[in-house]
A and B are shown apart, each in its own frame.
Chain A
């Protein structure tokens, strides 16, 4: 739990802020005018802050729902994302969020109602067609659930929007709130995985692979649709054996019939993002491998990337039908 809680004066009395304050009685509370005062100054060090990030309670004023980046979809024609939070409590060395903001603090926008109004409006623009909304783009959807109660508000709200599909993307095991709701057939709980070696080396504070599988099993037992996200796949000498082990571990325990979708993508980052992250972590192994710049993205050399994707794809398709497989194209 964050030791320091910044809160915008204008939302101090917001019922959701008051609830969160009650859930974090030991945190030191500091009032601010706008979250940018704390989140945006140049003179701060992301890597240092990651040791002890604060929580910032804020109100979002615009841009509640945005078009999803190309290649982010899982079969739908209309893809959008929304971020009730900025930043993630986990510390994965391949994650683009490390270079995205100057601060490592978590920002939580408490005006959920405005997000849902915009989601409803966006869904109406594509009436009679399914519209996908991705919630885990700028944060982990569930990791902060004990504080945010995001699920309790958003699940009933999504249930009322008949053509809206929701993807909850996570590496966490915070599924208690989900289990208290009936499974919604238009909600996919997607779990991200890397192989055991990458997990140990590069995913700090992330629950173990087995704990995430256990969470998937509980959700599956209750009828929830699940997703698997192998994105990014990170290269290392033993990636083939490790990826096979990971698939064997998952598919020996998770019911394939509960899977809605599986996606796969190799490690890549926008050029400026990569530069920022490499400056933050110059000694990180996975950032010191050979890379190429292709279309503004830093990624593995084409032959390596092609070999990795081909291998992982073939391995995956031994377990799943191609109808639920969605490679990330960029």
Chain B
């Protein structure tokens, strides 16, 4: 699952177009778009809106999983060219010492720089960081639901010391659209790693097929989950093991049988 978080509609539009996202009509708190496992949520400007939208989104769509999160938007810098695409190497809230470092797993053509999130629009740029409003609130919140390897901020430079911040929505969409090849390449590479990683997890359906066979205490459920997770390596459908325990009526018999299978298989390298 990939969740794009944008402050403005004009920042989200290139994503919506690129991935053919459709508006989810039942959502009336934040504007939300979806195509299969790709989501895009528009939070509104500022840290509080972004934190609220990210937490809401995690509750709505990501309860049993750790999705990939990308905050996409515009930012300012002293002298970087307009349209430069930046991947955050560090995010910081202005006036605070707390810094967070998103962890990059893939190579990227994007420039990596620190982002300093401001309380309000600020044109007193420096050359060490790029300025935005939401990045820190986003990463701080998203990293409560996913590890930092899955939480990233991408910003396209829209203003600098010679070009003031723009209110032109079409211009903002255009700047981001031009950067979409690099942004998309990064997102796809990340999603590939994410998919590979998530394939090793047990689905609720797989677990319930076994839970339905007998009454399991809470401790036995944990044991069952561990055994099934390990046995996935030998049979991704788990059908073999389900069949072998389907006649048992007691949880301890099922667990014992699965454990014996696991021990036997584990001793053959």
> Contact residues of A with B, CB < 8 Å?
3-4, 6, 28, 30, 32-33, 37-38, 41, 43-45, 47-49, 51-52, 54, 197-198, 200-202, 235-238, 278, 282-283, 285-286, 288-290
Q: Which of B36-44, B52-60, B96-104, B238-246 binds A?
A: B96-104
Segment 232-269 of B: residues with Cβ below 8 Å from A: 232-233, 262-263, 265-269
CA of A37 to CA of B102, assembled, Å: 11
Q: List B residues at the A interface (Cβ < 8 Å).
A: 89-90, 99-101, 103-107, 112, 114, 143-144, 146-149, 151, 193, 197, 200, 226, 229-230, 232-233, 262-263, 265-269
Q: A48-B193, A285-B269 are in contact. Are A41 and B148 (CB under 8 A)?
A: yes
A237 to B263, CA, bound (A): 11
| A288-B230 contact given A30-B89, A45-B149, CB 8 Å threshold | yes
The answer to whether B267 touches A236, judged by C-beta atoms less than 8 angstroms apart, is yes
A173 vs chain B, min Cβ distance (A): 24
Q: Is the CB of B230 within 8 A of A44?
A: no
Q: Which residues of B contact A197 (CB under 8 A)?
A: 269
Report the separation of the CA atoms of residues A4 and B107 in the bound assembly, to the nearest whole angstrom.
Answer: 10
Given contacts A30-B112, A44-B148, contact A51 B105 (CB under 8 A): yes
CB atoms of B144 and A43 under 8 A apart: yes
Query: A45-B147, A283-B233 known; A288 and B89 CB under 8 Å?
Result: no
- Selected from A48, A237, A285, the residue in CB contact (under 8 A) with B147 is A48
A43 to B146, CA, bound (A): 7
Give the nearest-CB partner of A236 in chain B.
B269
Is the beta-carbon distance between B230 and A282 smaller than 8 angstroms? yes
Task: Name the distance in Å between A29's Cβ and chain B's nearest Cβ.
Answer: 9
How many angstroms from the CA of A32 to the CA of B91 in the assembled complex? 12
Report the number of A-B residue pairs with Cβ-Cβ less than 8 Å.
91
Q: Report whether B269 and A44 are in contact in the complex, using a CB–CB cutoff of 8 Å.
A: no
Report the separation of the CA atoms of residues A198 and B114 in the bound assembly, to the nearest whole angstrom. Answer: 43
Task: Please determine whether B232 and A37 come into contact, CB atoms closer than 8 angstroms.
Answer: no
The answer for the CA separation of A51 and B103 in the assembled complex, in Å, is: 11
Q: Are A48 and B197 in contact (CB under 8 A)?
A: yes
Complex partner residue of A52 from B105, B262, B266, CB under 8 angstroms: B105
Q: Can you list 25 A-B pairs, Cβ within 8 angstroms, ordered by A?
A: A3-B104, A3-B107, A4-B89, A30-B114, A32-B90, A32-B99, A33-B99, A37-B99, A38-B101, A43-B146, A44-B148, A45-B147, A48-B103, A48-B105, A51-B105, A201-B269, A202-B269, A236-B267, A237-B268, A237-B269, A282-B200, A282-B230, A283-B200, A285-B233, A285-B268
Question: CB < 8 Å: which of B89, B101, B149, B200 contacts A37?
Answer: B101
**Assembly CA distance A207 to B233 (angstroms):** 26
Q: Check A52/B104 contact, CB under 8 A, given A30-B112, A237-B268, A288-B263.
A: yes
Among B89, B147, B229, find the residue whose CB has the most chain A CB atoms closer than 10 A: B147
The reply to whether B262 and A44 contact each other, CB–CB distance below 8 Å, is: no
Q: How far is the CA of A79 from the CA of B34 in the complex (A)?
A: 61
Contact between A288 and B103, CB atoms less than 8 A apart: no
